[in-house]
Chain A
Amino acid sequence: MKKLSKLLLAISFVVSITSSAFAVVAVSWGGAYTASQKLGYGDPTAAKLGIPIDWVDYSGGLSEITAQKEAGAITWDIIDVYAMDTINGCDEGLFVEFDFDKDFGPAPDGTPASEDFFAPMPSACAVGNILYSWNYAYNHDTIGSKQPKTIKDFFDTKKFPGKRGIYGSALTNLELAMQADGVNVGKGNGLVYRKLLADGGIDRAINRMKELCEDPNGGCVFWSAGAKPPELLVSGEVVMATGWNGRFFNAEMDGAPLTQVWDGQGLDYQYMVVVKGGPNEADAMKAIREMMSTEGLAGSAKHIAYAPFRKSSLEVIAAGEPWYKDGKTNMLPQMPSAKGNTKKYFLVDPLFWADNSTEINEKWEAMKAGLK
């Protein structure tokens, strides 16, 4: 008995060492998205480099990493963050500043990383991961004979009575509200941000949202976890819900009766950062180089409908269709950047949000707290 317990102790010690001390801890948003990252490039990278990678869930924001840093006990190495958080975190000195072309490998044809990635990074600490969409979906089994087609339909409670699932924070909600109020975003022309910055623009958008939430035919259910919108739709708690397109896609693939609407969608980039002074900074740098490689990024698109940030990864997918893990679904038409999906969209402006979020959040929270 004593021997056994000693053995157990030894084993647990070894396990705890291998799983915590040497593993790179990567933090992301959980659910289908983290699964796509782990299967797509996390596990292959770990196998190739011999560096174990642990995946941890969080729900966004810089609070945990700031707390870890203040307490002097950083346990995270790599974090998947919003664009505005790369800006804020970089300003606060939380993240490693990249030497981009040195830290990230070129495309297979030799194009340097900085040119292979779609867009310039919002800060020196960010490396682009995916392009995803804030769109909305409905349950086509319960919606009835009329089907929503445009972003205005999302706000039309006469034609489509019932509650709406809405992201709990103001991000992208204001842009959607402005479109309902008649602002034409075209093909990412930035007009919506100019209108929001105009006098009373923010109040205008928030009031439009308030109107929807207080409408007796409408009403809002706020969500914060990405898995929630499909769940709300399937359970019938809401008739339409905004959400992240990859989550809708995966729910559809699992048999949920959902249809996505791309009109007026918000295209947004998602980024990875490396924590400065993290427990395994050197290993994390090696791992992120491998994960953000052409094959790495293409790999994650095998599991979820988010577009990889590298042009060369898209070529890999195009050559390998049907690319989805079931072997029969073409991935490119499911991407937010596909031609059929980008007739009308806005590009989420991280600078606008990094600049104005204090004021917007105060008003947004006050609006929510005052809802009847």
Chain B
Amino acid sequence: MEIENKILTTDGVSLEESLKKAEKKNKIKAFLLVAPLLLFLLITYIFPIGEMFTRSIDDKMITNMLPKTFKAMEKWDGQELPPEEVFASFLSDYKILVKNKTQGKLGQRLNKEKNGFNSILKKLKRKMKKFDEGNYKDQIISVHKRFADVEYWRAMKRTAPPYTATKYLKAVDLYSDENGKIAQVEESRRIYKKLWIRTLEVALFVTIFTFLMGYPIAHLLATIPMKYSNLLMICVLLPFWTSLLVRTASWMILLQQQGVVNDFFVMIGLVADNNRPEMMYNKVGTYVAMSQILLPFMVLPLYSVMKTISPSLMRAGKSLGGTPFVSFWKIYFPLTISGIGAGSLLVFILAVGYYITPELVGGASGKLISNQIAYHMKQTLDWSFASAMGLMLLCGVLSIYWIYNKLVGIDNIKLG
């Protein structure tokens, strides 16, 4: 019965099958067309993010360097100084490292965990040649009194696991103590929570500022006659085409305490010469410069959406008895929501990861989390920590995208 129901092509194969075949060919062709892009994304995007992730949790180096020590430490509870066995196995591990000339890396790594470790290890390297057999605990302690401080051995034990989430904890001012309990770091070292909040705050306000400034500009651009709007468009785009650094530097010249704007204020008698307001090297500078720099990202999507709204709609609203405000609020504004969404999302996401402008104009109070990431990349060389924070930032942006999708719907976004 079934066979008879099937429609056959001229060469006797069922239509369904031959369609599938043809489609398969097409699919392969289509895939080959996008393959270069896919490969490109894999190499430049997916792979580095994966690499970042492994780097942020990888602590294998030290696990491999001190295998015997960590084995001996398994039985140690971390309360008192470790037993002789731990000292002896540490010394034998360390001797191997010295032989391979890799002891420097161990010292650097342990010094990050507990300050002062590197120099006592170097001292140990010099002194251990004269060690006698046996009783290594006392001999090692005699090298430097810090070896008798249980904190140092606890720090070493903390580095034992090959994978660790400590960097993620550190990025929110937490750490796990020797008992595995999670606790806040001491007050004088808390910094990251403050910076995450500041980053979100700056990004949010910059988005609001650009919206407040960009909406009227975009409206004007979309409604005035072509010959004026072209000129205005160039005014919007010109700074967009200017180098970011140039724009940031010009803000520095304008807004610094001895800058053009302040000079002008003093000249017209608005402020006293010895009481010039600070508008640069602080949060104000960051807000002003970032709002101006990100403004085109708000204006352009808004403009392209507004351009498609027919002016007759507003006229219809008015002729039906609406006041200008009501017809704007009930008709025009809802039609621009998709542009507002696109612009806000663009500006917010760019602002959250902004680095160079806050670095230059932010002073101390206008620095953001991205500046700390750069700081750990460049200064402390704690790349795994920088990776962890970078990933957290990425996840934050993705979750904002997700929330937006839930609230407004991502297919509502219009860039043009």
Contacts and interface: CB of A to CB of B under 8 A. Distances in A.
A235 B281 CA distance: 15
A292 interface: no
Given A88-B108, A354-B119, A361 B380 contact: yes
Given A88-B108, A237-B257, A361-B379, A366 B189 contact: yes
Main secondary structure of the interface of A (DSSP, over half): helix
Contacts of B31: none
Nearest to A236: B258
Given A237-B257, A368-B364, A221 B281 contact: yes
Nearest to B104: A91
Contacts of A222: 363-364
A93 B119 contact: no
B115 A356 contact: yes
Interface residues on B, range: 20 to 34
A61 B365 contact: no
Interface string A142-162: 000000000000000000000
Nearest to B374: A63
A26 interface: no
B364 A213 contact: yes
A354 B120 CA distance: 12
Given A235-B256, A368-B364, A358 B111 contact: yes
B365 A371 contact: yes
Interface string A209-239: 0000100000111100000000000011100
Contact of A370 (B119, B191, B258, B380): B191
Contacts of B364: 213, 220, 222, 368-369, 371
B379 A61 contact: yes
A16 interface: no
Nearest to A58: B378
Contacts of B190: 366
A368 B188 CA distance: 11
Interface string B69-113: 000000000000000000000000000000001101101100110
B105 A363 contact: no
B183 to A, nearest CB: 16
Contacts of B372: 365
A221 B285 CA distance: 13
Nearest to A360: B115
Contacts of A359: 115
B279 to A, nearest CB: 12
A91 B195 CA distance: 33
A92 B102 CA distance: 8
B194 interface: yes
Nearest to A161: B274
Interface string B246-283: 00000000001110000000000000000000100100
Interface string A86-122: 0010111100000000000000000000000000000
B367 A369 contact: yes
A169 to B, nearest CB: 7
Contacts of A369: 191, 194-195, 364, 367
A254 interface: no
A66 interface: yes
Contacts of B107: 91
B387 interface: no
Interface string B186-227: 001111001100000000000000000000000000000000
A355 interface: yes
A219 B363 CA distance: 11
A366 B111 contact: no
Interface string A337-371: 00000000000000100111111011101111111
B57 interface: no
Contacts of B380: 357-358, 361
A354 B110 CA distance: 12
A194 to B, nearest CB: 14
A94 to B, nearest CB: 10
Given A222-B364, A370-B191, A358 B258 contact: no
Query: Which residue, of A63, A221, A237, has the highest number of chain B Cβ atoms within 10 A?
Result: A63
B188 A92 contact: no
Interface string B360-371: 000111010000
Contact of B105 (A93, A220, A351, A367): A93
B191 A356 contact: no
A372 interface: yes
A63 B378 contact: yes
9 contacts: A61-B378, A61-B381, A63-B381, A93-B102, A222-B363, A356-B116, A358-B380, A370-B194, A371-B365
Interface of A: 61-63, 66, 88, 90-93, 163, 169, 203, 206, 213, 219-222, 235-237, 351, 354-359, 361-363, 365-372
Interface of B: 101-102, 104-105, 107-108, 111-112, 115-116, 118-119, 188-191, 194-195, 256-258, 278, 281, 363-365, 367, 372, 375, 377-381
Given A219-B278, A368-B367, 15 more contacts: A61-B381, A63-B379, A92-B104, A92-B108, A93-B101, A169-B379, A220-B364, A235-B256, A351-B119, A354-B119, A355-B111, A358-B112, A358-B115, A366-B188, A368-B364
